[in-house]
Chain A
């Protein structure tokens, strides 16, 4: 699952993931509220399959509910806290990094400006979390 408000970033990220045919399985949420709705099967997501995403790629600067708030919510919810969360942000800001790790983030990645580096980073992330990593029980499995 990708939580990202900027469509350009969404497109670039999906393009990168597509190289390993991972893009089709990605659910995109445009803001924090939508992400939480999805995770709690609310609103538009009431009837979706009862499983957690294998990994959550989370931007920090989001409208309505920001990334750190989403992270805090996930890590304090009994049903959601096992979902691996990777913060994917534009910023090198140390404050954000420290806050994320304190909230229990599983990885923290700063998006490189250089496209090749960016593609590599996203690809490796996707491969690691969706393919190599054994997700916790009750998560989507790569088929």
Chain B
């Protein structure tokens, strides 16, 4: 290719304006100069009485101009040479007139000159088009190649004998061999490929489907082994014979590592949940047994003690009657302890059945349930408007029953009890409810003991109870992603707060 051909590719991209008109002037100048030179030479030859050199010389001038200068200068050179031919070489000589005898001669000359310039023009156009196409192609190829260098994936091309013929920058960076080092080497030798299955099977799949993908183990220049997700595409020649393989790969070593870790963790988790499930089943059987087998003897104790008191009422002294009463009371107390404990453990085991719950409605229900315990005591109830929330209805109701019955219980000493149930905070993602009373309160010093199982702050004689109620409340609230806390003053009332979070799955 000529040097100007390389420049042409530049002009396609940035056409500079100035050399354009200069070239035009040069081309038209060439038309004048070449025709003048041909004419001079023809006249000189004619002067020495050589024959008929004018026609080939002028045609040579036309051809040269057309070849180099293009269409415009070619037309000019045809016109000039025709004029010269007419003036100098047709009779009458040195005149614009042509005798009719020489007219065909002149016409043929003009046509021939035109034909030459026309051919030259076509050839020029074709050449120009070819050059442009070539330049475009070259740009495209260059851009394509540089695009392949942009990616971080390693891309290389190899022939059917695994000899590398292309190696992109991603491959250079990843494997650590430069393009020069890799080209011409066999991939199997360079990368020490370890295949997931016999190479023959891979090859067969590639030949059949033109594609293959899988995980390969390669060794980098520094000796480190890497796992690569590799995709192969087969290129065939026009006869359909496989020629080259384009191999794209990305590094999944880290991913494989984490996958392995995750699998290990999952296995461990599965084992643990099996163990947990077994434990849970055992616990359930245990609770079932307690609820059946432990309550029966209590019932018998209470029952027969009662019967004894009835039947032997006449012969029993006051002390013995009191003992019997205490036996009955103890049995009853143990019965309620068992019931509360079972309810408490059930909250841990039971699956939460979540739905939209009207907190106000379940509060009303809880108050209605607790109210009979208060007998004819005077209680001022204040129930604020409460929102709807997403949670387990029966659990939330149980929590409110526990808190409200506590409030009723610990206001027993008040001539007029005040119990308020309200909403302290209502946000999108959580809500805080409170139950406030003007009862005997508690010392904040012991507030951390309030929610423990079997923890009680009052003597059994003053306020009866199992010490499980608030632990149950806490468990329910925890299952709803919230927390429970209390504020109190000795003899100055207590306020129990609990928050509920928006549980996953809530709208």
Interface residues of A (CB under 8 A from B): 6, 8-9, 12, 15, 60-61, 89-94, 111-116, 118
B296 at the interface (CB under 8 A from A): yes
Which chain B residues border A8 with CB–CB below 8 Å? 296, 300, 303-304
Which chain B residues border A118 with CB–CB below 8 Å? 299, 302-303
Which of A60, A94, A111 is within 8 Å of B299, CB to CB?
A: A111
A-B contact pairs, 10 of them (CB 8 A): A8-B303, A12-B300, A90-B295, A112-B299, A113-B335, A113-B336, A115-B303, A115-B328, A116-B306, A118-B299
5 A-B pairs with least C-beta separation: A113-B335, A115-B306, A91-B291, A8-B300, A115-B303
Q: Shortest Cβ distance from B344 into chain A, in angstroms?
A: 12
A21 CA / B211 CA spacing, docked (Å) = 92
Which chain B residues border A92 with CB–CB below 8 Å? 291, 339, 342-343
Query: Are B306 and A61 in contact (CB-based, < 8 A)?
Result: no
A-B contact number at CB 8 A:
64
Which chain B residues border A9 with CB–CB below 8 Å? 296, 299-300
A112 CA / B298 CA spacing, docked (Å) = 10
Query: Are A89 and B292 in contact (CB-based, < 8 A)?
Result: yes
Which chain A residues border B303 with CB–CB below 8 Å? 8, 12, 15, 115, 118
Query: Are B332 and A90 in contact (CB-based, < 8 A)?
Result: no
B307 at the interface (CB under 8 A from A): yes
B97 at the interface (CB under 8 A from A): no
B331 at the interface (CB under 8 A from A): yes
Query: Are A113 and B291 in contact (CB-based, < 8 A)?
Result: no
Q: Shortest Cβ distance from B303 into chain A, in angstroms?
A: 4
Q: How many residues on the B side are at the interface (Cβ–Cβ under 8 A)? A: 25
A40 CA / B331 CA spacing, docked (Å) = 40
Which chain B residues border A91 with CB–CB below 8 Å? 288, 291-292, 295
A112 CA / B296 CA spacing, docked (Å) = 9
Q: Shortest Cβ distance from B312 into chain A, in angstroms?
A: 15
Which of B288, B299, B307, B346 is within 8 Å of A113, CB to CB?
A: B299
* Residue of B whose beta carbon sits closest to that of A13: B303
Query: Are B300 and A61 in contact (CB-based, < 8 A)?
Result: no
Interface residues of B in 233-254 (CB under 8 A from A): none
Assuming A8-B304, A12-B299, A118-B299, is B292 touching A90 (CB within 8 A)? Answer: yes
Which chain A residues border B334 with CB–CB below 8 Å? 113
Interface residues of B in 267-320 (CB under 8 A from A): 288, 291-293, 295-296, 298-300, 302-307
Residue from A93, A113, A118 with most neighbouring chain B CB atoms (10 Å): A113
A27 CA / B335 CA spacing, docked (Å) = 29
A15 CA / B300 CA spacing, docked (Å) = 12
Q: Shortest Cβ distance from A118 into chain B, in angstroms?
A: 6
Which chain A residues border B304 with CB–CB below 8 Å? 8, 12
A8 CA / B334 CA spacing, docked (Å) = 19
Which chain B residues border A61 with CB–CB below 8 Å? 292-293
Query: Are A93 and B291 in contact (CB-based, < 8 A)?
Result: yes
Query: Are B335 and A114 in contact (CB-based, < 8 A)?
Result: yes
* Residue of A whose beta carbon sits closest to that of B309: A115
Which chain A residues border B339 with CB–CB below 8 Å? 92
Residue from A93, A94, A111, A114 with most neighbouring chain B CB atoms (10 Å): A114
Which chain B residues border A12 with CB–CB below 8 Å? 299-300, 303-304
Which of A6, A94, A115 is within 8 Å of B296, CB to CB?
A: A6
Which chain A residues border B295 with CB–CB below 8 Å? 90-91, 111, 113
Given contacts A112-B335, A114-B335, could you give 7 more A-B pairs where the C-beta distance is less than 8 Å?
A: A8-B303, A8-B304, A111-B299, A113-B332, A115-B302, A115-B307, A115-B328
Query: Are B342 and A113 in contact (CB-based, < 8 A)?
Result: no
Q: Shortest Cβ distance from A94 into chain B, in angstroms?
A: 8
Q: Shortest Cβ distance from B69 into chain A, in angstroms?
A: 105
Query: Are A90 and B291 in contact (CB-based, < 8 A)?
Result: yes
Assuming A6-B296, A90-B296, A91-B295, is B342 touching A114 (CB within 8 A)? Answer: no
B419-437 contact mask (Cβ, 8 Å, vs A): 1 or 0: 0000000000000000000
Which chain B residues border A113 with CB–CB below 8 Å? 295, 298-299, 302, 331-332, 334-336
Q: Shortest Cβ distance from A81 into chain B, in angstroms?
A: 27
A134 CA / B342 CA spacing, docked (Å) = 38
Which chain A residues border B335 with CB–CB below 8 Å? 112-114
Q: Shortest Cβ distance from B268 into chain A, in angstroms?
A: 31
* Residue of A whose beta carbon sits closest to that of B328: A115
Q: Shortest Cβ distance from B104 into chain A, in angstroms?
A: 121
Query: Are A93 and B331 in contact (CB-based, < 8 A)?
Result: no
* Residue of A whose beta carbon sits closest to that of B343: A92
Which chain B residues border A111 with CB–CB below 8 Å? 295, 299
Which chain A residues border B293 with CB–CB below 8 Å? 61, 90
A44 CA / B226 CA spacing, docked (Å) = 82
* Residue of A whose beta carbon sits closest to that of B329: A114
Q: Shortest Cβ distance from A58 into chain B, in angstroms?
A: 14
* Residue of B whose beta carbon sits closest to that of A60: B292
A115 CA / B310 CA spacing, docked (Å) = 12
Which chain B residues border A115 with CB–CB below 8 Å? 299, 302-303, 305-307, 328
Which chain A residues border B306 with CB–CB below 8 Å? 115-116
Interface residues of B in 405-420 (CB under 8 A from A): none
B108-140 contact mask (Cβ, 8 Å, vs A): 1 or 0: 000000000000000000000000000000000
Which chain B residues border A90 with CB–CB below 8 Å? 291-293, 295-296, 299
A36 CA / B298 CA spacing, docked (Å) = 29
* Residue of A whose beta carbon sits closest to that of B339: A92
Which chain A residues border B346 with CB–CB below 8 Å? 94
Interface residues of B in 201-255 (CB under 8 A from A): none
A15 CA / B307 CA spacing, docked (Å) = 9
